[in-house]
A and B are shown apart, each in its own frame.
Chain A
Amino acid sequence: MSQWGFYFDSDRCIGCHACSQACQVQNEIDAENITWRRVEHVGEGEFPDYEEVSISMSCYHCAEPECLDVCPTNALVKREEDGIVTANQDRCIGCNYCSYACPYGAIQFGENGLVQKCHGCLGSGAGDGHSSPPREESEGARETPACVDNCVTGALKAGPINELVRQASEEAADAYHSGEGGPSLVIEPTTKVTMEGENDDR
């Protein structure tokens, strides 16, 4: 399996929300509280020593997804072809347990009470993409996800994780390799917000 993933460089991100809007349109998400991809604006310090960084977040299709561990019905599936985590709405009972297991807030529940999340644009809409053929053989899948296609600065990329690691800085590659079992995300270290006070809850 060639794990598929995302690359993000916060120094390039201008916080324009084109990625999150493109996701909403591509997947026909109307509800305001449902955001498979979202942009968080994180600030630190006080004027004049103030810095702000924008972070584009979605499901990171973890190598060992914690959402899968807790799902009673195996409604969440990590695909063998590309490692993308998809949601099978036909098996979901809507217990919401997975949404608490995911550290990134990537799992959402729609009006039908069933799980929905980013499927890397393997299809379009909630529950789509599950059991679909590999991206290159699929008629419904986009070559690259809508969020990546609409990123105006190249801050967000997607593809086989090994290729993304090769394109990344040494620091980002090392950080990715040290997070074994974690998110399929190559993230460039931000030079804006200091990393002090980093989350030590886990």
Chain B
Amino acid sequence: MIDSPDGFIWLTQQEYGWYIAVYLFFSGLAGGAYLTGFAADLFGWRTADVSTSRSMRAITQWGVILAIGAVGAGMFFLLFFHLGAPLRAMFFPILFVNFGSWLVIGTWIIVIFTMVVAFQGLWLFWAGEPTGKSAFPRTVTSAVENRFGIPADTWLTRLASLTYPGARGRLAISAVGSGLALGMIAYTGLKLGYVSATVPLWDGTLLPLLFLTSALSIGLAATIGATAVFEGIHGTKITTFSVADDVIILGEIAVLALLLSVLASGGPGSTAAFELLTKEYGLLFWGGVVTLGLVLPLGMSVALIAVEFREDVHACERLTRLVRGGYTLKFGFVVLGGVALRYLIIAAAYNAPLSP
């Protein structure tokens, strides 16, 4: 039997499964959502308008909720689906001794990021008056306290007031959290990019850039999408955030095009990855990543801006619902495109072949 009829030794597919794609997706989403929340926090800090301030606060709250939820989901898939010894991994402060490994660097970034996000959540929901439907964590603790007599709300409020560093201090700590969010996003790309000599698809420069743009895009889409669904679009600067997402998507398209051209013109491993992406997985790539995740959202954005330009959206309830639905759909497509991208980056990751 001929294993390699083309003169190369093709190594067998490696061990990463769909759950690693899910982990990478949630890690990117967490970072992007937190950064979006931080941007809204800054908008809210600067504005004198009470209504805008409340809307920005709601976005920040959604950013924190999504960040902590996504980190938790990512960790769940990593620990219980992927790792061979998940319980052993819990001892990472003792066991993770190779500080040159991206896995160790990434683990510590995620741990510190999670701590910062947890404190932000504590201060946002229990140190002040949370606003909108994103205030549900506070509603839950109040309900638990009232119904079961467990003083969860009292304890958390006390802890929040004990640790609260003041509005300026909270914002400063959130800035540190944003740096960690960026670090976490970068880690997902750099971890894979570090072994690009073996896996040509994981280009050491372009993959981290692709993951960065994609994570910012899906994080923003998820946060503003959740805001549009649960809080509405009035006063949420949804158009501004949507245009920002469009700019990021254009950047992502440029990076993806560059990656494709590098793969198409590279060695046999690179061209095999190119063929896999664009042909074998063509439906998911062209349909999911490119059309659903990039082109369609841009097209929808143009249409929505045209509607907002011509009509007073808030004057007509039907039109408000239509625009709200349009933005929700657009952001939903962006998030789905992010899932497809990460699945393909893992599924098409074949080793570079060897020559005899």
Contact = CB atoms under 8 A, between A and B. Distances in A.
B149 interface: no
Contacts of B2: 41-43, 52
The secondary structure that dominates the A interface is loop
Contacts of B8: 42, 197, 199
B85 A113 contact: yes
A114 B4 contact: no
Q: How large is the interface on B (under 10, 10 to 19, 20 to 34, 35 or more residues)?
A: 35 or more
Given A74-B98, A114-B84, A202-B197, A43 B9 contact: no
Contacts of A66: 195, 197-198
B98 A72 contact: yes
Contacts of B269: 199, 201
Interface string B87-124: 01100100111101111100100000000000000000
Contacts of B288: none
A44 B267 contact: no
Contacts of A100: 14, 16, 192, 195, 198-199, 349, 351
Contact of B6 (A41, A44, A72, A202): A44
B333 to A, nearest CB: 31
A195 interface: yes
Contacts of B199: 100
A100 B102 CA distance: 13
B11 interface: yes
A29 interface: no
B356 interface: yes
A72 B101 contact: yes
A148 interface: no
B240 interface: no
B270 interface: yes
A93 B95 contact: yes
B193 to A, nearest CB: 11
B3 A201 contact: no
A43 B89 CA distance: 43
Contacts of A193: 7, 356
Interface string A18-33: 0000000000000001
Contacts of B86: 93
B7 A71 contact: no
B172 interface: no
A42 B4 CA distance: 5
A49 interface: no
Contacts of A127: none
Interface stretch (A78-86, A104-112, A156-164, A172-180): A104-112
A10 B356 contact: yes
Contact of A69 (B92, B100, B268): B100
Interface in B41-74: none
Nearest to B79: A93
B291 to A, nearest CB: 29
B5 interface: yes
22 contacts: A43-B4, A57-B9, A66-B197, A69-B100, A69-B101, A72-B96, A73-B96, A91-B95, A95-B83, A100-B14, A100-B16, A100-B198, A100-B351, A104-B11, A109-B15, A112-B84, A113-B84, A197-B8, A199-B267, A201-B197, A201-B270, A201-B352
